[in-house]
Each structure stands twice: as structure tokens, then as C-alpha cells.
Chain A
Amino acid sequence: AQSVAQPEDQVNVAEGNPLTVKCTYSVSGNPYLFWYVQYPNRGLQFLLKYITGDNLVKGSYGFEAEFNKSQTSFHLKKPSALVSDSALYFCAVVRRGSYIPTFGRGTSLIVHP
């Protein structure tokens, strides 16, 4: 079985400060790892993914994520938060060969002006 944990329901950060949204996972083998973002009244949008190679993955809107195999984590980061980054963020894991993702419960990111 595979599982994803997003330990924080909500993350608050001031505009201009760095942000981190945490994700840990449990799955056998070497999974694919994803971050999706959901803006209000919209569907989820792909943000970035880790497949293989460099542990630091860069994605859309200045976001990046760091894969840490020993800690089974895939934390989402951004050096300088914007108010427009306020949204719901979902981490997801896919076991290679299964094609079926497991999602975390989501973390609400609130960036204060």
C-alpha cells in the first residue's frame, strides 16, 4: 500500500518570505512524486514532478521541491512567497507501473501581504 502525509493543514507565511509545504510518503520502490495546486473554484493543476535524477526539481511559478530518499520526503519550496500563491497544495505519489496516484489531504497555503 502507498500513502502520503501532509502534516500541516495550513501554512501561513508573509509575502516575500520563503515558504515550505511538507510531504512525506510511504511506497515500495522508487515512486514518481508530484505536487498539484488548486486555486479557488478551479481544478487541480500540475506544478512539478520528480521522476529520477537531480533531487531538486524546479516547476511552475518559481516553485521547487526537494526529494529526500532517506527521509521519504518531497517538500515543496519557494524562495519568496507571493500573495497570489495562496491556494490548496496537494502532494501525490505514484508507484512505478501502477499509474494510480495516492494524494495527501492537502495543505492550505496563506500568504499575507
Chain B
Amino acid sequence: EAQVTQNPRYLITVTGKKLTVTCSQNMNHEYMSWYRQDPGLGLRQIYYSMNVEVTDKGDVPEGYKVSRKEKRNFPLILESPSPNQTSLYFCASSLAGDSSRNTGELFFGEGSRLTVL
């Protein structure tokens, strides 16, 4: 089954304790992205990656890191979490490149709800 898998789905942590949210897709997609969703603010893009070893900042990258060492994985790293990073996080993927198959349709994970105390 084609899917995007995020872990953990729920996490409560404390300020300053490094954490990683993993994201894996099994569709051989080039493009992967992280979003955070907050009430009244919609979806905001944190980082995205067009392919292996190619990453770029989105709209709200401060306090986050990412890496893309393999095509299927795109972990989100919070080196020193703060309470303002309490949010619902989504990973998404899609085809990229100049192909008639690529129309930009995103496949989303189920979300990771993070609480930083």
C-alpha cells in the first residue's frame, strides 16, 4: 500500500530535549516536505527536499533541521525544542521532475502531535 509513515504519532517532551520525528514513504517520490499545522494559521511549510541531499527552507524553518540521505526518508530534527514548537506536524511527498506524471499531488502522513513543556 502506498503510504507516508510518520513516527511518533504523539509525543510529549520538555524544553531543550532533542527529538527526531521520522518520515518514510514507499512511493519512490523525489519531493518530500514537512508542515506544521496550528489553529488559525493553516499549514506552514518548514523544510522541503527535491531529492536526495537536496533540502531547502520553507516558510518557518527556525528551530528545525532536516536531512535527506535516502530517497525514502526525511526526518525532522528539533535540536532544542521550545514550547512554541508545540504543534501538529505533517510529512508529505510527491513526484517531482519534468514529467507528465507529475502534477504536484501530495501524499500526507497521519501527523505527529508534539507537545513541548
Q: Do A and B come from one complex?
A: yes
B93-114, CB under 8 A of A: which get 1 and which 0? 0111110001111111111000
Contact residues in A for B106 (Cβ distance below 8 Å): 34, 36, 44, 46, 92, 101
Q: How far is the CB of B66 from chain A (nearest CB, A)?
A: 15
Does B31 lie at the interface of the complex (its beta carbon under 8 Å from any beta carbon of A)?
yes
Q: Do A90 and B104 touch across chains, with their CB atoms under 8 A apart?
A: no
Return the contact of B43 from the options A41, A42, A45, A103 (Cβ within 8 A): A103
Whether A51 touches B90, Cβ cut-off 8 Å, given contacts A100-B48, A105-B42, is: no
Q: Is A49's CB within 8 Å of the partner chain B? A: yes
Q: In the complex, A44→B90 CA distance in Å? A: 9
Chain A residues engaging chain B, CB cutoff 8 angstroms: 32, 34, 36, 41-46, 49, 51, 90, 92, 94, 97, 99-101, 103-106
